[in-house]
Amino acid sequence: MAVTPLTQFLFNVFITIAVLVTLYTCNFYYLVLLSKQRRKYQQTELGSPTITIQLPIYNEKYVAARLVNAVCSMDYPKEKMCIQVLDDSDDDTYDILENLVVDYRQKGFDISHIRRADRKGYKAGALRNAMKFVKGDFVAIFDADFIPPDWFLKKAIPYFAKPEIGLIQCKWGHVNEKYSALTQAQALSLDLHFLIEQKAKSNSHLYMSFNGTAGIWRRECIEDAGGWHTATLVEDLDLSYRAQMKGWKCLFLADIVVDAELPVQMNAAKRQQFRWAKGSIQCAIKLLGDVAIKKIPFDTKIQAFVQLTRHIVHPLMLIQFLILPILLSSKFNLYVVSVLPLLTIVAYLAMGPVVYIMIIRNLWAQRWKSKTLAYFYLIFYSAGMSVNNTVAVFDAFLGKKNEFLRTPKYGIVNNTDDWRDKAYNLPFTKTTLLELFFGVYGILGIFISIFSGNPIFAPLIGIQTLGYFYISYLSISHTTFKKNKSQLLRNITKAEKMANTYYKLAMVGIIGFISFGAFMAYYGYQHDVYPLDQSRGLLDRIKATDDTQVITEYLNNIKTLLPQEGNPVWIFPTETTDFGKIQGDLENMISSVDKISTVPQDSSSFQTGMINIHERAKELRLHLLDATPYMYVSFSNIVFSSLWIAVILGIFAVLKRKKERLKSYEMSDEV
């Protein structure tokens, strides 16, 4: 098999990415081993020290009261609790909390409703602002969707036995894990994070992170580390690393579980994942220089690098996904061992599902079957989410400033609870367009893997393809303009009807254009690329035969399959990829074969002529191999793709305009 410079370069990139992704995967398995260590943390009876409990809240009318009620129900002396409701809300949440705070204050609680003039710094800004009002030596933090148990403080505080303990992070529970496949996938992902990564790092000298909620800080630790910074979207990760670089120790307590609500809307889950991915890269840019020069163990430096940069796996996987069909269509040998191609799939299964299922069975002996089912949901969820997280990674590297966008919650606990008629629902974004593009490209990749004689790669491409369609489908289907129930019962305005109609029409239009794009991709492959693959196959057959009649038939077939003129390399074209010249070479070969057919087959002239024909067939095959990758980026394909994207962007633009009109209508109606 001949290798062109382009395919060799792409193969080198492909293999480099495979090695990097494998290293990140192996690091997770290393943490699995560390997490198996049994370690008991020292506890000391500290009595009932004064604790400040901070509740950062922004527009959480469905869950804010539940949080405040849970905190005020804690089995802890209320004179020892300083409760700070850090409320930046600009909707009904403010009134709910104001009335609740007044009520609990009258009952003797030290509870304050802290408001700011603006949301500068977002959650980190609210926490930093509230530090000047902190009482006592400890600060507990709970996000709005969490429900701390009444025994939480009494059980957690004794773990601050040693003075170097600066943070205690507790495990997240999930009140709505069984709500849908989406929530099951998220729950498993978070559980693996806590029970493997956090536990492993807590058991060792590796740096672990604060997860932003369900934890308690030593006040001195926060101040010594420099307080809350607002430069990144993950202020929790930032502060915990700065604290550990100062010598503080962080603990993870798996036996203290604080229930919380998982996002039930796909667009909300994507927003949360985006914030985490972008924030991690921002922290990598901000902190890795300090980590590198600090006098800390080398393996701690390595693990810090891995944790802060692990989201680069998402763009790497996308690049690999784009490269694979091109290599397959170029007949590049991708098998790990050429004689045993199944080893490629076996290696993938061994490094992925098999090991993960073993880990799941070890962690959840009684529930491992249901968790294994959730793992298969997680495979598609993680694959499809790679587009969203790739955008986040590039945003971070490019230094793009983003607003801290909260993840909306709806107070969903039971499987019968509905969220679609509530406020805070998020529409799908332009990222959905990219997910659809990769889904369509994946379908093309599956066809290429089959037609190129590499069907073994079709399942690998198919997993990611299904993931992209799964994420994009839920992003669109979870989009709504509905108001809450009480408003719906009173009145459905003309603007709301129009908005919902526009969204339904948009969904039909997008699905139609996706289907049309998939058909055109398949047609384009069949019409432009597949004929070149067939022609290369016929040239291979010509090299293997001395039958002049068969060779002539093959050459005539190739002439029919290939374009009569044109050059796919439309920027800096070369003669070797000019189809007009290739057609001329085929004509010359046919003439040469006709002359050879008149010569006795046992003569030296016949043998010499055949060697010449075989060499020319080999050369033509190389020229077609050079031309094949450029058929994907032909001028017509670029124009069609641009028009296809422009139409879908146009649909997004119309939706955005209609949404703004709806908002302005509602505001004027409220006034």
Catalytic residues: 88, 236
Q: From CA 68, how far away is CA 313, in angstroms rounded?
A: 39
Q: Which residue has the tokens 């809350």?
A: 228
In contact, 165 and 249? CB cutoff 8 Å = yes
Q: Which two tokens stand for residue 211?
A: 């997860």
Measure the CA–CA gap between 657 and 56, rounded to whole angstroms: 32
CB 267 within 8 A of CB 410: no
The contacts of residue 89 (CB under 8 Å, 6+ apart) are 57, 58, 59, 60, 61, 64, 97
Residue 426 to residue 59: CA distance in whole angstroms = 14
Among candidate residues 199, 236, 230, the one with its CA nearest the CA of residue 215 = 236
Count Cα atoms within 13 angstroms, Cβ side, for 501.
8
Q: Which residues pair with 86 in a beta bridge?
A: 56, 114
**Alpha carbon distance, N-terminus to C-terminus of the chain:** 73
Q: Of the candidates 615, 613, 586, which has an alpha carbon nearest to the alpha carbon of residue 599?
A: 613
Can you tell me whether residue 76 is helix, strand or coil? coil
Distances (CA, A) of 290 to 246, 285, 287: 11, 10, 5
Strands 51-57 and 138-141: parallel
Q: Three-state DSSP class for 169? A: strand
CA dist 107 → 100, 175, 546, 670 (Å): 11, 29, 100, 35
Contact 54, 84 (CB under 8 A): yes
Cβ atoms of 566 and 532 within 8 Å: the answer is no
